[in-house]
């Protein structure tokens, strides 16, 4: 049996797509390999959101060139956001790659494997299993809207993933029903801009409608969705999160900057005040909400004062998680064309560290209030000899117990907290 190995970096969308590819390859008679070196087929699922990610991809492509020299029969496939429309140029640069296909372009993958005599299995429904191929997968990621129409000035995603295309509501509901039949307890609906789901579908269903439909599936314990764009999140959606039990109290709401002029140059479509009001509304309607945000430091021209605005917004908002990134100019984007990347690397690093330090203190405080509380944890598996899972608020929880807890909902008493995770003790199973 031929063996495959999938190497994935990037966002949840890439992870979901890698699972879909794995599902396809399993059904086409391939077997998962543990590493590059014992695979006959290698798939790189790539990310280019920052220069550092692209560099990792190029490094891995270099490594595979060496491997292919030794094993000429090794097949190398590349997908993800490295693949732009100019595949000819990519083929010229990487002649050792056998197939390049755009993210989500499975017909291309299927056609390739058919040409190689692999029996067709058109259904790309991912079989819910963990990496070990054995234990059930309790949490599944479901792409519901592809692409992005926003063209934030710094971002390469719209150029690599194209315009927004939503999947029909009924199709998503069927897929989730099937996954739940196979033991999935939690689904995370994915989109670069998940809260604009449905606007180009017939009848204009929206994300709130989809959440309502999914909420009536028996045995589906939890629903999440990400990533939201602050300009697209509707009151209807917030009310829906507040009213549906199965929708978790957890929202990703990237702000990117705490300064209005920078937000404008980023083309984000909202002001700091509008973001502040939005967070206020969400917290009034869903008091238990756990929030995460993204911030970019060192955007072209960002002054010390403008950076301080981001820092003070982090201080003021006190959200649960902040992902900080140093601005990285991406070829083809508006910011790359129009602005000079004029903030020195050391300044970017210093700003990044400042936000991280502040957020660590905030998260440490927020999490410390959970000590002694009992929380519902959906157990995903084992790591370093301990069971781990997440709370509805997306906090990572570890605990030790001799029983088999995988895919179970457990009530855990929190005993120790840190800015990044919690530790606790099992109280009981929740059915
Ligand atoms: N669609 C999501 C996230 C897309 S990319 C959104 O609208 O927020 C994920 C994160 O990478 C972004 O939130 C942003 O913080 C960061 N990012 C994107 N482009 C970047 C760039 N050129 N330099 C640094 N960080 C970037
Ligand atoms: Fe990129 Fe902006 Fe689209 Fe997010 S919303 S993917 S940051 S262009
Ligand atoms: Fe990276 Fe593409 Fe996701 S650039 S972050 S893999 S959408």
Q: What spacing in Å lies between the alpha carbon of 177 and ligand 1's midpoint?
A: 32
Q: What is the mean pLDDT of residues 222-251?
A: 98
User: Could you tell me if 45 and 21 are in contact, meaning their C-beta atoms sit under 8 angstroms apart?
Assistant: yes
Atom of ligand 1 nearest to the CA of 326: 24
Measuring from atom 2 of ligand 2, which residue has the nearest CA?
152
- Of the two residues 22 and 236, the one the predictor is more confident about is 236
For ligand 3, whether the C-beta of 146 sits within 6 Å is no
E strand segments, 127-237: 139-146, 165-166, 186-191, 222-226
Q: Which of 68-72, 276-280, 281-285 has the lowest mean pLDDT?
A: 68-72
- pLDDT of 129 reads 53
Nearest partner of 269 among 219, 195, 209, judged by Cα: 195
Ligand 2, residues at Cβ distance < 6 Å: 148, 150-152, 155, 157-158, 192-193, 229
- Say how many C-beta atoms besides its own lie within 10 A of residue 98's C-beta: 16
pLDDT above 70: residue 34: yes
The pTM of the full predicted model, rounded to 2 decimals, is 0.95
Q: Which of 11, 143, 158 to mutate to test the pocket of ligand 2 (most atoms within 8 A of CB)?
A: 158
Measuring from atom 5 of ligand 2, which residue has the nearest CA?
150
CA distances from 89 to 41, 86, 155, 158, 200 (A): 23, 6, 22, 20, 33
- pLDDT of 24 reads 85
CATH topology for the 136-248 domain? Transcription Regulator spoIIAA (3.30.750)
Compute the mean pLDDT over every residue in the chain, rounded to the nearest whole number. Answer: 94
SS3 content of the chain, % helix, strand, coil (to 5): 35, 25, 40
DSSP SS3 for 38 = helix
Residue 181 CA to residue 166 CA, distance in Å, equals: 24
Class for the domain spanning 3-115: alpha beta
Handedness of CA 182, 184, 189, 190 (dihedral sign): negative
For ligand 3, whether the C-beta of 161 sits within 6 Å is yes
Q: What is the 3-state secondary structure (H, E, C) of 333-363?
A: CHHHHHCCCCCCHHHHHHHHHHHHHHHHHHH
Is-same-fold flag (136-248; 374-429)? no
Give alpha helix (H) positions in 207-271.
207-214, 235-243, 260-266
pLDDT above 80: residue 128: no
Strand 165-166 vs strand 139-146: parallel, antiparallel, or unpaired? antiparallel
Atom of ligand 2 nearest to the CA of 229: 5
Q: Which two tokens stand for residue 220?
A: 């589906």
Q: What is the mean pLDDT of residues 409-426?
A: 97
Handedness of CA 361, 367, 368, 369 (dihedral sign): positive
Q: What is the mean pLDDT of residues 411-420?
A: 97
Nearest partner of 408 among 186, 115, 132, judged by Cα: 186
Please report, in angstroms and rounded to a whole number, the separation of the first and last CA atoms in the chain: 40
Residue ranges covered by each domain of the chain: 3-115, 136-248, 374-429
Q: What is the mean pLDDT of residues 55-83?
A: 96
Q: What is the mean pLDDT of residues 225-230?
A: 98
Per-residue pLDDT band at 25 (split at 50, 70, 90): confident
Nearest partner of 411 among 376, 380, 381, judged by Cα: 376
Nearest ligand, CA 293: 1
For ligand 3, whether the C-beta of 11 sits within 6 Å is yes
222-226: strand order across its sheet: 165-166, 139-146, 186-191, 222-226
Q: What is the widest separation between alpha-carbon atoms in the chain? A: 61
Measuring from atom 4 of ligand 1, which residue has the nearest CA?
192
Residue 120 CA to residue 113 CA, distance in Å, equals: 8
Q: What is the mean pLDDT of residues 397-417?
A: 95
- pLDDT of 301 reads 98
Measuring from atom 3 of ligand 3, which residue has the nearest CA?
11
User: Could you tell me if 340 and 298 are in contact, meaning their C-beta atoms sit under 8 angstroms apart?
Assistant: no
Query: Residue 248, preceding bond cis, omega within 30 degrees?
Result: no
User: Could you tell me if 290 and 310 are in contact, meaning their C-beta atoms sit under 8 angstroms apart?
Assistant: no
Q: What is the mean pLDDT of residues 164-181?
A: 95
pLDDT above 90: residue 23: no
pLDDT above 80: residue 127: no
- pLDDT of 20 reads 87
Residue 352 CA to residue 307 CA, distance in Å, equals: 10
Handedness of CA 340, 345, 346, 352 (dihedral sign): positive
Give residues with Cβ within 8 angstroms of 264, minimum separation 6: none
> Which secondary structure element, helix H or strand E, spans residue 274, and what is its range?
helix 272-285
Measuring from atom 7 of ligand 1, which residue has the nearest CA?
229
- Write down the architecture of domain 374-429 according to CATH: Beta Barrel (2.40)
For ligand 3, whether the C-beta of 81 sits within 6 Å is yes
User: Could you tell me if 209 and 198 are in contact, meaning their C-beta atoms sit under 8 angstroms apart?
Assistant: yes
Q: Which two tokens stand for residue 80?
A: 């993800």
pLDDT above 60: residue 126: no
Atom of ligand 3 nearest to the CA of 9: 6
Give residues with Cβ within 8 angstroms of 220, minimum separation 6: 176, 180, 184, 185, 186, 187, 214, 246
Q: What spacing in Å lies between the alpha carbon of 18 and ligand 3's midpoint?
A: 13
């Amino acid at each position: 049996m031929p063996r495959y190995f999938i190497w994935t970096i990037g966002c949840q969308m890439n992870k979901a797509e890698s699972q879909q590819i794995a599902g396809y390859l399993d059904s086409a008679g391939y077997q998962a390999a543990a590493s590059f070196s014992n695979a006959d087929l290698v798939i790189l699922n790539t990310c280019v959101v920052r220069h550092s990610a692209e560099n990792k991809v190029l490094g891995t492509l270099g490594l595979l060139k060496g491997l292919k020299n030794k094993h000429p029969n090794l097949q190398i496939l590349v997908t993800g956001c490295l693949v732009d429309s100019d595949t000819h140029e990519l083929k010229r640069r990487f002649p050792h790659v056998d197939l390049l296909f755009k993210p989500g372009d499975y017909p291309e993958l299927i056609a390739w494997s058919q040409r190689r005599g692999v029996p067709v299995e058109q259904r790309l429904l991912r079989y819910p299993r963990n990496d070990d191929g054995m234990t059930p997968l309790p949490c599944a990621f479901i792409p519901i809207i592809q692409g992005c129409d926003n063209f934030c000035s710094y971002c390469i995603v719209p150029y690599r993933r194209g315009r927004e295309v939503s999947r029909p509501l009924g199709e998503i509901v069927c897929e989730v029903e099937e996954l739940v039949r196979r033991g999935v307890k939690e689904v995370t609906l994915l989109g670069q801009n998940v809260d604009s789901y449905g606007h180009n579908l017939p009848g204009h269903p929206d994300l709130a409608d989809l959440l309502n439909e999914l909420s009536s599936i028996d045995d589906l314990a939890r629903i999440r969705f990400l990533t939201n764009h602050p300009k697209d999140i509707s009151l209807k959606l917030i009310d829906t999160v507040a009213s549906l039990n199965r929708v978790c109290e957890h929202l990703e709401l990237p702000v990117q900057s705490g300064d209005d002029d920078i937000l404008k140059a980023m083309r984000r479509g909202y002001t700091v005040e509008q973001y502040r009001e939005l967070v206020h509304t969400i917290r009034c309607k869903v008091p238990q909400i756990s929030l995460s945000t993204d911030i970019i430091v060192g955007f072209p021209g960002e002054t010390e004062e403008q950076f301080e605005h981001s820092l003070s917004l982090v201080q003021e908002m006190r959200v649960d998680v902040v992902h900080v990134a140093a601005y990285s100019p991406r070829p083809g984007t508006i910011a790359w064309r129009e602005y000079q990347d004029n903030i020195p690397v050391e300044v970017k690093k210093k700003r990044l560290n400042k936000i991280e330090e502040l957020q660590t203190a905030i998260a440490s405080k927020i999490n410390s209030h959970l000590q002694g509380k009992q929380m519902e944890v959906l157990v995903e598996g084992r790591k370093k000899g301990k069971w781990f899972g997440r709370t509805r608020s997306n906090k990572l929880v570890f605990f030790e117990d001799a029983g088999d807890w995988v895919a179970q909902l457990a009530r855990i008493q929190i005993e120790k907290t840190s800015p990044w995770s919690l530790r606790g003790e099992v109280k009981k199973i929740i059915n």
